[in-house]
Chains A and B, each alone.
Chain A
Amino acid sequence: EDQVTQSPEALRLQEGESSSLNCSYTVSGLRGLFWYRQDPGKGPEFLFTLYSAGEEKEKERLKATLTKKESFLHITAPKPEDSATYLCAVIGASYDKVIFGPGTSLSVIP
């Protein structure tokens, strides 16, 4: 069964304290792994797509990496405005369904 898990469930960082969020997946024939950011009461906002192991993408303080079993979202020198829930999702060989993880709630304290 296709599945996505994320850890930790919640993460509290001091401003400037770098860390990583984990997304572990099992899916038949990975076609893409997506990272989203979700602010309270809003819909998820797309951040990155990764297609194959070894691929990396960067945007400001965020860097996403992908292996055959997991993805990491690295946050370098975070700021309070980075506080949000970060969602990971995968799409497999069947293409028609996107499977989401439960998310990691990130709080960055000034």
Chain B
Amino acid sequence: DGGITQSPKYLFRKEGQNVTLSCEQNLNHDAMYWYRQDPGQGLRLIYYSQIVNDFQKGDIAEGYSVSREKKESFPLTVTSAQKNPTAFYLCASKVGTAHNSPLHFGNGTRLTVT
């Protein structure tokens, strides 16, 4: 079955360490997204990518970085510059950005930084 796989499900890191969250999709979608979810808030967009080797900042990109070397993969790095990194991170994809089709989500990675 086609879908989005995020790994790991849970991630624990010490403050000051960079950490990379994995996102892989086999839906053949062009556009991929990273969202952050905090209690009581809507999903907030971190980065998105429309095609390989291209990506744009979302609303809360500071302290994060991404790469898109393959169509199927869109890893997110949470750097030590991110002031409040503990959150639930969701990866999503859709057919293309210039399209009103719905987003498809992975099952998230819960990151805890202490």
Residues in A lying within 8 Å of B, measured CB to CB = 4, 9, 31-32, 34, 36, 41-46, 49, 51, 87, 89, 91, 95-103
A34 and B42 form a contact (CB under 8 A) = no
**What class of interface size applies to chain B in its complex with A?**
20 to 34
Question: B80-114: which residues lie under 8 A (CB-CB) from chain A?
Answer: 90, 92, 97-108, 110
Q: Which residues of B contact A (CB under 8 A)?
A: 4, 6, 33, 35, 40-45, 48, 50, 56, 58, 90, 92, 97-108, 110
**CA–CA, A2 to B92, complex, Å?**
20
Contact partner of A43 (CB less than 8 A), chosen from B42, B97, B106, is B106
Given known pairs A41-B110, A42-B107, A44-B90, the reply for A95 and B43 (CB within 8 Å) is no
Are A41 and B104 in touch, CB under 8 angstroms?
A: no
